[in-house]
Structure 1
Amino acid sequence: MAEAPKIELFVKASVDAEGVGNCPFCQRIFMIIWLKGVNFQITTVDMIRDPPTLKALAPGSQPPFLRYNDEVITDTNKIEEFLEKTLAPPQCPKLCCRYKESNGAGEDIFRTFSAYIKNPSPELNDIREKKFLTTLVKLNHYLETPLPHELDQNPNATVSSRLYLDSESFTLADCNLLPKLNIVKVVCKHYRDFDIPAQLKGLTRYLENAYKEDQFRYTCPPESEIIVAYQSVAVYLNQQKGQSNRRH
């Protein structure tokens, strides 16, 4: 029997350097390795102190990076490709999507979210919010539309009942999108008092299902980490609220 590989994932450390910090790319890889069902070690990297480990293993790189036995990989997409190719069936599950459309679902949300949350002008808020909402509606439509395998099982289905983007289980697409959606949810609530509309039933169901899964719930950074990470870019439209929050 082949010896199990030594796998170490380096992720961004929290502000206090004690836990996992806010980084959707780190969480993406964390989820993938967990879903592969292999033993691995997590090491947090304090970017402020620039530890010797970072200089020696991945000079000039930002987490995440992966050490697989003696090989070090520093690019997020390359790490994903390496894990999918190396940790493959029959020992490990395949995580790629059945449908290529699932990979692109929700891909424009983070861009419109960033424009919405960074906007300092109350008069532009409605425009930015509508553009952001449009991308949420688009994702919701994909989640509510039955995929071909669902229609094979029930040709009369008009609304999808699948749990996740591509199927009943997490895929690489979910590992990419869900960490970003978690950030969107936390930041919009804190800085805009904006909740994802309950009318978007497909998206609401998707998130509810995801938060039940250990591989997502336990890889999410604390909400306080996300809020602190966005302090320098998110803008309170109500300046008094911002001042009140800063005093606390």
Structure 2
Amino acid sequence: MATGMAAETQMGPPTTTAVPLGTGLEAGSLQVFGLAPPGAGSPSLELGACPHSQRVYMALEERGLPFVITGIDEQSMPSWLTEINKNAEIPALRDGDEYVFGADDILSHVNDRYPEQSSAFLVPEAQLQQIETITSALVETFMKWMESKSKDSPVRTEYEDAVVELNKHLEKNGPYLCGTSPTDADFKVAPLLHHARVTLLNVMDFELPKKYAAVHKYIALMEGRASFQKYNQPDELIVSSWQRKFGMQAQTA
């Protein structure tokens, strides 16, 4: 399997446009509609803190597929987007004149439409269910803990149990989720894990224990990749986005 993009590769800033691409474009003219910060308006040149949008950016970047990004403020969804899909989900992808909504469906479309560029990043069928179970546990326990608004919530133990399972998986299969090189599973998990780690540290005073060495190695590898760094957002934007989602203040008792 190919190793994908080298972590030390230097990249410029994301290519953004506030103007929707013209009509009648051929397939391969890729435009990603990613989450913009609240109040930025739509369309926007600003990128918000969204792990699902970052997943799509990383997957396309690692495949070497050129694309532009247009920020969409969910508080002011543009009518030209909701007319295409009244329940338009962000992120969305425009490939020529075809629109795809939601990160999962976007990745399925990319894998089908661009098989040569995608082959190195496909998740082995035998590992799909296990990785999905681990990912779901991490996300669900993080959300439950944030919903509790309590640093001492018993969900803290549930979240750490989910981290234990991730650590066990990486010890056996790592250093990446599926072996020695990153796949689409990593482009999904790494932004989610980063958002949870940064938010829980700042809101719940929870620092990932050093004993989970495989997880820490994984974080260093994924967050060291140029594709991650190019589309990552500052910690304060990540934290504020989750505080806003759960109606929390800057500090939680």
TM-score range with shorter-chain normalisation? 0.7 to 0.9
Pairing partner for 1:73 from 100, 111, 116? 100
Secondary structure at the counterpart of residue 221 of structure 1:
coil
Secondary structure at the counterpart of residue 166 of structure 1:
coil
Does residue 96 of the first structure (1) align with residue 151 of the second (2)? no
Structure of higher CA gyration radius: 1
Q: CA separation in 2, counterparts of 1:121 and 1:209?
A: 31
> Which residue in 1 is equivalent to 2:31?
8
Task: Report if aligned partners of 1:140, 1:202 keep a CA contact under 8 Å in 2.
Answer: yes
Q: CA separation in 2, counterparts of 1:20 and 1:26?
A: 9
Pairing partner for 1:107 from 136, 139, 147? 136
> Which residue in 2 is equivalent to 1:117?
146
> Which residue in 1 is equivalent to 2:160?
133
CA RMSD of aligned residues (A): 2.4
> Which residue in 2 is equivalent to 1:85?
112
Secondary structure at the counterpart of residue 154 of structure 2:
helix
Kindly provide the CA deviation profile for residues 46-94 of structure 1, in whole angstroms up to 9, marking residues without a partner as x: 22232344334443312111110111111322211110111112x5543
> Which residue in 1 is equivalent to 2:218?
206
Q: CA separation in 1, counterparts of 2:149 and 2:69?
A: 38
Pairing partner for 2:52 from 2, 17, 25? 25
Task: Report if aligned partners of 2:204, 2:252 keep a CA contact under 8 Å in 1.
Answer: no
Does residue 169 of the first structure (1) align with residue 181 of the second (2)? yes
> Which residue in 1 is equivalent to 2:19?
none
Kindly provide the CA deviation profile for residues 136-171 of structure 1, in whole angstroms up to 9, marking residues without a partner as x: 0111011011x4xxxxxxxxxxxxxx4311122221
Task: Report if aligned partners of 2:54, 2:232 keep a CA contact under 8 Å in 1.
Answer: yes
Kindly provide the CA deviation profile for residues 28-57 of structure 1, in whole angstroms up to 9, marking residues without a partner as x: 111111111111111111222323443344
Shift of 1:114: 1.5
Alignment length, in residue pairs? 220
> Which residue in 2 is equivalent to 1:40?
67
Secondary structure at the counterpart of residue 63 of structure 1:
coil
Runs of 5+ consecutive residues of structure 2 not aligned to the other structure: 1-25
Distance 1:134 1:92, change over 3 A: closer
Q: CA separation in 2, counterparts of 1:223 and 1:197?
A: 19
Distance 1:116 1:81, change over 3 A: same
Runs of 5+ consecutive residues of structure 1 not aligned to the other structure: 148-161, 244-248
Q: Which has the higher contact order (CA 8 A, sep 6+)?
A: 2
Q: Which amino acid aligns with 1:7?
A: L
Distance 1:202 1:220, change over 3 A: same
Shift of 1:102: 3.8
Pairing partner for 1:186 from 194, 198, 206? 198
Task: Report if aligned partners of 1:45, 1:54 keep a CA contact under 8 Å in 2.
Answer: no
Q: CA separation in 1, counterparts of 2:46 and 2:86?
A: 22
Q: CA separation in 1, counterparts of 2:88 and 2:132?
A: 26
Secondary structure at the counterpart of residue 73 of structure 1:
strand
With 194-203 and 96-105 compared, the bigger mean Cα shift is at 96-105
